[in-house]
Structures are given as structure tokens and as C-alpha cells.
Amino acid sequence: MRALVLRGEGRAFCAGRDIQGVDPADDDVLGYLGGLVQPLLQRMSAFPAPTFAAAQGAALGVGLGLLIATDVVYVAESARIGSPFANLGATLDSGGHALFVERLGAHKTLDLVYSGRLMTGDEAVRAGLFSQVVPDADLEQATFAAARRAASGATRAFLASKRLVARLRDERLGLWASMTEENAAQAELCATADYREGFAAFQQKRTPDFTGR
């Protein structure tokens, strides 16, 4: 597999866990969030191919976490992003704090948490949370087109960038450490068929035919 698209059916991408009928007295929060949700999101983040998400309507709680764990996120104008927990006595979960603080800063993050206000798709993209905002009617087509472009590209090179971006996010590599990692990745790619094909196509002034090898 050389690319993956994640999407939701209906009006919402994913509004989070269905808490209708949940009894707080016996709610196994750690089992659900730590034992089920977090491992799923970590697997999604480490998926060995470029991943894309198409998000319309509500993308909250676990839905927001799925977007955080995806490489490229296209949101519809109808998308609603934020922390809807203000009236539940619960807190933002599934990685929302890390995303919001990194992109929005502490003050805007806590404003969203305290108020429960939801951002539109356009607002979320302008704030740097996600990749692009598109009209609802064009969302699926635009996302699949982007995934097809990636799938036909030099996917081993894309995965090298994916791994480095994850380390920059999680390990906070500095400029020179990240440059050293880039150098090593480039040296490994030099031995791949796609690297040779890319250089040959450039020199021969033709479109490259990448195979992911």
C-alpha cells in the first residue's frame, strides 16, 4: 500500500465517543483512552505510507485524535474543531492539548477549552492546525486526488520525511541534529530505484515513473 485515506460517513467525520448510556461510576476511562484509543492513534501515526484524512462536520475527541495522527488533513468548510467538553466536566483528550498548544499557544488553547467554542474548517486551517480547507462538495475528490499523487510518487522518500517530522515533533530535534538525520536519510535513499529514476528522468527531461522501491 502506497497511500491511505481516512474519511467518515454522513454529516460528521467523527464526533468522538458515544457517551449515551455511559455511567461515570463504572466508566473505564484509562482502559478506553489508554488501552484502546492511544494505541490506535499511535498505529495510525506510524502507518508505513502517506496518510490523508477528509474531515467534514464534527471532528471532536477521538475524531480530532484521528486527524492529529494523520499526515495530511483536508477539512471541509463545515468542519468543526475544538474542545466540546466544557459542559461535561471532562477534559480534552486524544492529543488535543498537544496540537492546540503547539499551533495556537497556551492562551487560545485554554480559551477554546473554557468556552467550548468550535472552530470552523477555515479557521482551523488559517490557525495552522490542518492542511487545506475545501468546499464540502469537493472534499472527497480533493483528498483522494492528493492521495493518488502521493501513491504514485517516491513513497520511500516521503516516508523518510514522515519519520523525521515525527522525531522533530516528539523529540524536538534542533537544526543541526535534524540536518544530520536528513543527511543520513538522503544517503539511504541514494541506493533506491526511485532515487535513480528521479535523477534519470530529470536528466532526460521526462516524467519520472516511481515504483516505491
- The pLDDT assigned to 22 comes to 82
CATH code of the region 4-150: 3.90.226.10
Extents of the domains making up the chain: 4-150, 154-204
| Positions of the chain with pLDDT lower than 50, given as ranges | none
DSSP track, the chain: ---EEEE-STT-SB-----TT--GGG--HIIIIIIIIHHHHHHHHT-SS-EEEEE-SBB-THHHHHHHTSSEEEEETT-EEE-TTTTTT----TTHHHHHHHHH-HHHHHHHHHH--EEEHHHHHHTTSSSEEE-GGGHHHHHHHHHHHHHTS-HHHHHHHHHHHHHHHHH---HHHHHHHHHHHHHHHTTSHHHHHHHHHHHHTS-------
- The pLDDT assigned to 185 comes to 97
- The pLDDT assigned to 176 comes to 97
- The pLDDT assigned to 128 comes to 96
- The pLDDT assigned to 23 comes to 81
- The pLDDT assigned to 145 comes to 97
- The pLDDT assigned to 87 comes to 86
- The pLDDT assigned to 154 comes to 96
The model's pTM: 0.93
pLDDT digits (tens, 9 = 90+) for 158-202: 999 999 999 999 999 999 999 999 999 999 999 999 999 999 999
